[in-house]
Each structure stands twice: as structure tokens, then as C-alpha cells.
Structure 1
Amino acid sequence: MDMERWDAFVRSVQRMEWNDYAIAFAIFLIFLLFRKLFTRYIFKMVVKMSRKTPTEVFTNVLLAFEAPLRLFWVVLGTYLALVYLPFNWTTVEFVKHLYRSIIIILIGWGLYNYTSTQSMVFVRMARKVDIDEDSMLVPFLSKILRFTVVALVIVVVAGEWGYSISGFVAGLGLGGLAFALAAQDTIGNFFGGVIIITEKPFSKGDWIKTPSVEGTVEDITFRSTQIRTFEDSVITVPNSTLANEPITNWSQMNKRRITFSLGVTYSTPREKLERCVRRIDALLRSHEEVDPDVIMVHFSEFNDSSLEIFLYFFTKTTVWAEWYRIKENINLEILKILEEENVHVAFPSRTVYFEKEERPFDLEDEPAGKE
């Protein structure tokens, strides 16, 4: 503020009377009162009316800007109160920059709220591209957009106060190569996360297995994916590592496999072996919790110490605990069949045969003293 404006300001303050202050304060109180009326009645009424419209965009915008609008009435009240005063404070450069910065921040605040994961923008996008509710794409894009909004607000406010943004951008251009070389891992992890989210090899809550980790997916960030193991610990895997590994998604199973070989002794008669195979096959086909599409029970091969019966089938459930319960029940029923047929389970064994060599009679072998 130069000397002339300062002198004008001092003279205006000297000419001001108490009623000028009172009226300015009354203007502020009116807007403060209107803010309460707006919050309690007008805003709720407008939101209720907007819900009747064919689109929910306007409703989501109103809800996102609810908190900024409350503060806006306070800012507007102070601004008009300052305008009423004899010396127009709003013509001061500092005050103008301050109010403009506040308005920019309020707009950025509303956009930040609008880009939340519950935003209608992401809901519609998820419906169009058929994204699961548990997909991590929506939170990931929300984080990117919110970061962009915050960065733009900072840049615009800095420009409002006279800071040169072009120099900053030029500096980024000159240092881009060095930054890219120094942040290769970070950039790789970021694009690895984009690949994971877009290709959707798994969703949040899925049970996955890779060469480096196995567990339940909890979250994905710009850099890494968090996986909770069965030991209840959390492992953070870089996205670039996860994107380059084969991923087995066990949660995508429609049914769960059980396969093993049952060895019986070589002393088992052929008729009993055939009956065991038929009865085990019938057991699996009549079991309510076994999927009937693929059931294989066959006498498969002659092992070193056993006759092998090959079993291959699936349970309808994929839940680990239920799968083990069904497997136990079937094993007990198979054991019952073997007991009823008097068939014994083989164990690793080896039979050794000793051959005794016959030696010819020799007179020299006779006991001494005989003639």
C-alpha cells in the first residue's frame, strides 16, 4: 500500500462512525444467519428436489459442495461487510488475492469430495465396464483424481499470489530425464498397479498365490499391493513384481479338486480289488457334496510295493474348512469299504530272497580221526 492510499485509509477510518461498523457487522450477521437457514432448510429441500430428477449428477454435486458452500456464505458475508465500509478494503491487493485464493480452495474442496469412491462418476463407470463392487479400480482412480485436484489447487493459488509456475514446469522438463532414471522402480510399480487393476487378475478379498506370496488381497496403492497371509501377517509386494509373476486366483474356483492314489497290498485278490474300485466310485457319485461332472476311480498301476487305485474328483464347495471336512468324511467311508472287503492298505516294503549255494562233498571236509 503506497503513502497516498495509506493516507486515504487513515482519513476514511477517522470519518467512520459507530453506525458504519454496526451496519457492516449486521451484514455479516445476516449472511451468518442465512448460512444456518441454508444448511438446515434450503439445502435439504434442494437436495430432495434433485433426487426426483432423472440423473443423480446434480445431487452428487450438491452433496460434494455442501461443506464448501457453508463456508462460502461466511466468506461472502465478510466480503460484503468490507465493501460497505467507507474505505473499500476489497481494493487492497492482499485482500483481493486472499479472497480469490479462498474461492479457489473452496472449489477444489468440492471437487475433492466429488472424486471420492462413492462418487456417481465412478459408479456409472463401474456399471458400464462391468467392474465388481470389490474391484480396486475405483479407489485407485479416486486417489489419482484427488491427487490431481490438490496439485491443481496448489498451482492455481501459487499463480494467484504471483509465483511463476512456468519456471517450475520448465524445471520439471529439464529434470525429467534424471527423475525418470532415479524413479525407475517407482514408475514401474505405478504402471504395474495400472496393469493389475485394468486386467483384473484378482479383486480385493481374493485368495491368490504367486511364487513370492500367498494370501488374501487387502489393498492396492500406487506402489504396492498388500496381501494378508494365512499366518495373519501382511506382506507388501511391489506392483512391478506382482505384475510380472504368474498369479493363481484360488477364489475363482467354481469347485475344488481332491486327488490321490490309494495303495493296497499285492496279496489282494483281483475280485476284491474290482469291488473296491466299484464301491468307491459309487460312493463318490452318490455323495451330495461331490461334483458329479468329473469322477475318476481306476486301478492305475503296479507300484514296487502296492497296487495303486487312482482317485480324482471335485467338491462343490471351495471353502477350505468345508473342503477338509468333506475330504475327511470320504476318507473314512473309503476306509470302511476296505475293512468290509478285508483289503489292506500297503506300506513301503521290500522282500529279500536268500539263495543257499550247495557245496560238493570233499574228503578234506571230514572230521579228523575218521578213517
Structure 2
Amino acid sequence: MNALSRTRFFPRSLSQWFCQLLLVTMMGMCGAGFANAQSAQMEAEADMPSPLTSSPLAPLPLNSPRATFGSFQTLSQNAVDTILEAIDVASNNNAFFDTAEVKALKAKGMSELVAATQTLDLSSVAPESRRSMGLNAVLLLKEILERIDVPDISQAPLSGEVAPNKDQPSWSLPGTEIRMVGLPDANGTLRYKFSSDTVERLPEFYARVRDLPQKTGSEIDFYRTFTLGPGLSAPIELYSYLTRLPPAFLRDYGGQAAWQWMAFGVLTVLLLGTSATLLVRVFGRSTQGSHVPRAIVLLVVALLLGIYGWLNDEIINTTGELQAAIEVTVLVLQGATLAALVVLVFYGLARMVHTLPGDRREGLDASLLRLAIRVVGIILAAFILATVATRLGMPLYGVVASLGVGGLALALAVRPTLENFIGGLILYADRPVAVGEMCKFGGVQGTVEAIGLRSTKIRAVDRTLITVQNSDFAEMSITNFSRRDGNQLQFEFDVWPDADGSQVIKTINEVAAKLREDHRIQQDSVRVLVREMPEDALKLEIQAQSLIADWTDFLDMRQKLLLALIDMLKTRNVLRNDREAAPS
């Protein structure tokens, strides 16, 4: 290697070598800095919200305060612009009712407002009121942000830049009490939202900055314009008519315009008057009639409550705490009305069991059917009330726990009733008797007239009515005469002691043959014989099993058969004194 080559690769002096090394190091640091800057820029771009360009099914970007802040600003501003565009389009046509284009713009603006509510923590608001309270909060927060110095969105922290907190990560808008908190979703991912305490204090914040000029230069307070006018379901042209009212009607009283308070009052009076008239007129009658009119009235009242809530929300446009109170009141009254309607309908169905033909309506099957229908009605009513409680944000586990303790105390208090009910279930499972059957228990004989869930009623042979508790009746030994598959025939006749033996045997064979020829008698059960009795008396004993189970029919058959046997024995001249000994 020559000298020229050596000078190309090795410096002539230490200072030159050090300069080259320093130059290479600086180039590396610049490259690393450029790479870090590019990485930060890519992270920022990935963390930026894109609610307009993303898929309609994509979740709203809430993975950092910066993303949440950007999502709120974009959606709230787009919603306002869309609604203002709808107003502008409506003002350029002469139609009173909204055209299809105006309706589409209003629906789009409302959907963007609803999407913006996802940036708010509404967990402290009752589920039934979250939509209305969320929309109100979005408009309030937008007006607040337009009147204060808001930092550039790039100054909002990313997910990894949020200051740690022992409870939950949070970030406050500089110079304000507006705070965001990180809340884990179902997958454990942190979603940053404006905190619940911030949402609760938004009316207070708005009152502080309401008189300040907007940083955008606009003089329109969209929150007041939106809340003091009619709802979006009303034609936009209606707003122009309201603006012509005297200023007193448009004045703000407690967050509502004067005309809104008057419309709310008139609508409330109409609802209360109509509902009270219907309920008093129908429920004030005797309870002996049909439940259909009452069910119809309850259904009408539930519909009226729904219409009342819709008119207040969508037409009169009540907002804030008033709208939340209306929603909760309507929900509670509708739930109670529908629960009463369900119970009334199912109790009416249970009463229809009494229309069953014959004895079936008084049997245990009918009693259990009535009970089952009523229990189903009560369960459905309880489900409706539980749904209402859930919509109100009430923790059901506390209610269920209290019901468990109360149920135990109730069970101890009604123990005798439960014993009778269980006895009724045993009677239903074993079915020892049924309505209309004759039975004997505890020395009492009679016909069963009714089997209920608590007691059984029996008509004794002396026509007295006996009521037996099911718990006692189920433990007794019961003889059911009505379920015999036949009846025992037994006759005894006195026979001359000195009667001709061959004649007596012939008579026995003839009687036995006559009995076996009768299709109502079991052939192999026939037994005819002569039995010696004390004092040199003879008895002709006749026994057979009748196939007739009905007691009345059996007595009729026995009577006819007895008379026929007496006639036969008389012709054979074997009866003593020609008379029958008392048949047993």
C-alpha cells in the first residue's frame, strides 16, 4: 500500500481523526432524532380521531385525551353545522312541514350529537335520562369551550403521556376544572371521557362564561337557540312562528322558555284530567263485571303517558333537569300501569277457569291452573318493575337481598298456609279423590264438592258440608268408593232344614247358572252354597262380583236381581216360610 492509500484511510494527525469521528457521531444522532420525530409524528397521527373517515361501525377514538378531545370537537361542530344547514334549507322553501332533505339533515345532526355523548361519562345519570342529559351536556360543553382559551389539540396528551394517578389516570384542560378520566371498557382498554363530575357541573361552568364573547367570532348561542326552541321532530318552520311571539314568551325561566312552561303545563293538565276520568269511571264500578274495560283503560293510560313523554321531548323540547324528571316520572307510571295491566289480564284468565264445564272448575287441577296463571302474571309484572328499576339505575342486587330476608320472615309467618298448600300439591300428585267422588275418611263419608289449594270441601251423607285442611286431609287414610271397578253382591236366604237335598243342589246349580249368564257379573266370582247355622237352621249364601262400578246403577241391578232370585227360589219350594232373610 503506497502513501497515498494510507492517507486516504488513516488521518495524518490525531486531530483530523477526532474531527472525522465527531462528524460521524453527529450524523448518527441526527438520523436517530429524525427517526424519533417521525415515530412521534406517526403515533400522533394514529392517535388522532377520524370519526368522519373511519368505518361507520368503527368505535369512536377515545384511547387518549387528545383523541377524545378531537372526537368531541369534530362531532359537536359537525352536528351544529348540519342542523344549521337544515334550518337554512328549510328557510329557502315555502313548505310548512319539513321536506325529505330537511328531515335527513336533522337526523344526521342528531346522530352526530348522540355520537358526541360517547365522550361523556354518564354513569351517574339514570339510564332512562342519559340520552337527553347527554345531548344537553354536549351543547353546554361546546358553548363553554368556545368562550375560553382552549389549547391546540396537539398539546393534549397521548395515552402514554397522561400523569399517573392512584385511582385512575386523568387529565384536566389547562386553566379549567374540566377533567377527563380513563375508564376501562369491557376488554380492559382505557377509554378517556369527560368525567361525571365535569358533566354534572357543566350548567355551573356555562353560567360563568355565558356572557363572554365566543372565540370563533359567532354571536349565536346555539345552546340557547336549540333549547329554547321547539324539538327537532317539529317542523323547522314552527320556529319562525315562535320568534314572532312577544319577548316575554321567549324569556328563559329555569332553563326553559316561557312558552315551553305553558305548553308543558297544558299538556300535563290534559294528561292528568283524561287519565283520572278514565280510571275513576271504569274502576269505580262493581268488580263483578268483566276485566276487559279495565284492561283497555290501563292500556290507554300507558299509551297516553308515552305520547306525553314524546311531545315534551320532541315537540316542546323540554331539556335539562325538567326533561330528566319527566322521563323518570313517565317511566315509573308506565311501568306501574303495565304491571297492573298484566296482573289484571292474567287474573281475568284465571277467572275464566270457572267457566269450565261440570265439576272440573272446582277440582284441584282447576285450582292449580288458576294459581299457575296468577303466578305467571305476578312474575311478568315483577319483571316489568325490575326493568323499570334498572332503567332508573337502582342496584337490583340490594333489592334481591332484602327480598330474601323478607321472604324468610314471610315464610315463617305463613307456615300453616304453606303446609296446606303443600298438602294440596300432595293431593294433586297422588289424586286420591276428585270432585264428585264418594269417599270415607276418619269415620266420615260423603261426596267431594271442591278441592282448593288450602282446604277440601265434602258433602256428608247427612247433607252437612265438611271443610278439611289439606295438610290434615293428605295424612288421612281415604277410602274412595267411586273408584271401585265393581261392587260385591251378597244375598242370604233361609232354607228349610228338612228340604230335599237333591232339590236344594238343583236350586244351587240353577242360581249359579243364572248369575253366570248375566254379563254384568264376573263369572269366576259366583259362589252359591248352603251353610249350616246354629239352632238347626240352614242358610243359602249367594256371592258374586258385579262389574258395575257406578253405585246408583249397581243398586238398581241388585234390586232387580234380588227380586228375580226370590221368584226362582219360591218356585223351587226351598225357602223357609217363603220369605227372604235380610240380605247383607
Do these two structures clear the TM 0.5 threshold for a shared fold by scoring above it?
yes
Greater relative contact order (CA < 8 Å, ≥ 6 in sequence) = 1
Query: Aligned equivalents of 2:417 and 2:301: distance in 1?
Result: 43
**Residue 528 of structure 2 contacts residue 542 of structure 2 at CA under 8 Å; is this kept in 1?**
yes
Q: Is 1:248 aligned with 2:479?
A: yes
Bigger drift between 90-99 and 272-281 goes to 90-99
2:432 is paired with a residue whose SS is coil
Alignment-derived partner of residue 299 in structure 2: 72
Matches within 5 A, 1:12-23: 12=259, 16=263
Query: Which residues of 2 match residues 105-254 of structure 1 at below 5 A?
Result: 105-110=340-345, 112=347, 136-147=364-375, 149-150=377-378, 153=381, 157=385, 160=389, 165=399, 166-167=401-402, 169-173=404-408, 179=413, 183=415, 185-254=416-485
Inter-CA distance 229–90: structure 2 relative to 1 (3 Å threshold): farther
Q: Is 2:302 the partner of 1:84?
A: no
Aligned AA (2:548): T
Contact 1:79/1:90 (<8 A) preserved: no
Matched-pair contact (CA < 8 Å) for 1:117–1:138: no
Q: Is the 8 A contact 2:295 2:345 kept in 1?
A: yes
Offset from partner CA, 1:185-204 (integer Å, 9 cap, x none): 43332222211110122223
Q: How big is each residue's C-alpha offset from its partner over 1:93-147, in whole Å with a ceiling of 9 and x where there is no partner?
A: 43432122212333444555667786xxxxxxxxxxxxx9996335325315514
Question: Could you say if the C-alpha distance between residues 222 and 269 of structure 1 is closer, same or farther in structure 2, counting changes exceeding 3 Å?
Answer: same
Match of 1:96 among 321, 324, 331: 331
Offset of 1:297 from its aligned partner? 0.9
Structure 1 partner of 2:509: 278
Please name the residue that 2:537 is paired with.
306
- SS of match in other structure, 2:482: helix
d(CA) in 1 for partners of 2:470, 2:511: 46
Q: Which residue of 2 aligns with 1:11?
A: 258
Residues 533, 539 of structure 2: 8 Å contact kept: yes
CA contact (8 A) 2:569 2:575 kept: yes
Aligned-residue RMSD, C-alpha? 4.3
Check whether the contact 2:338–2:381 (CA below 8 A) recurs between aligned residues: no
Whether the 8 Å CA contact 2:521–2:544 is kept in 1: the answer is: yes
Counterparts of 2:499 and 2:531, CA distance in 1: 15
| Aligned-pair CA distance for 1:286 | 2.8
Instruction: Report the CA distance between 1:257 and its aligned residue.
Output: 1.5
Cα distance in 2 between the residues matched to 1:152 and 1:87: 33
Q: Please give the alpha-carbon distance, in whole angstroms, between the structure 1 residues aligned to 2:467 and 2:456.
A: 6
Change (3 A) 1:195 1:313: same
Contact 1:226 1:237 in 2 (8 A): yes
Runs of 4+ in 1 over 6 A off after TM superposition: 64-67, 114-118, 132-135, 161-164
Q: How much has 1:337 moved relative to structure 2?
A: 2.5
Shift of 1:275: 2.4
- Hey, what's the Cα distance between the residues in 1 that align with 2:383 and 2:516? 69
Deviation at 1:222, TM superposition (A): 2.0
The answer to whether the Cα contact below 8 Å between 2:362 and 2:451 also exists between their aligned partners in 1 is no
Q: Secondary structure at the match of 2:565?
A: helix
Match of 1:257 in 2: 488
5+ residue gaps, structure 2, are: 1-251, 275-290, 354-359, 580-584
Equivalent residue for 1:333?
Answer: 564
Secondary structure, in 3 states, of the residue corresponding to 1:227? strand
Counterparts in 2 of 1:66 and 1:265: CA distance versus 1, 3 Å: same
Is the 2:491–2:541 Cα contact (8 Å) retained in structure 1?
A: yes
Give the structure-2-normalised TM-score: 0.41
Distance 1:90 1:302, change over 3 A: farther
**Offset of residue 312 of structure 1:** 1.1
Which runs of no fewer than 5 residues in structure 1 stay unpaired?
29-63, 119-131, 348-371
Q: TM-score, normalised by structure 1?
A: 0.61
CA distance in 2, matches of 1:17, 1:200: 62
The one-letter code matched in structure 2 to 1:106 is: L
> May I ask how many residue pairs the two structures share in their alignment?
287
Q: 1:330 to 1:168 in 2, by over 3 A?
A: same
CA distances 1:189-220 after superposition (whole Å, capped 9, x unpaired): 22222111101222232222223432222222
CA contact (8 A) 2:493 2:575 kept: no
Aligned identity (percent) is 20
Task: Report the counterpart of residue 54 of structure 1 in structure 2.
Answer: none
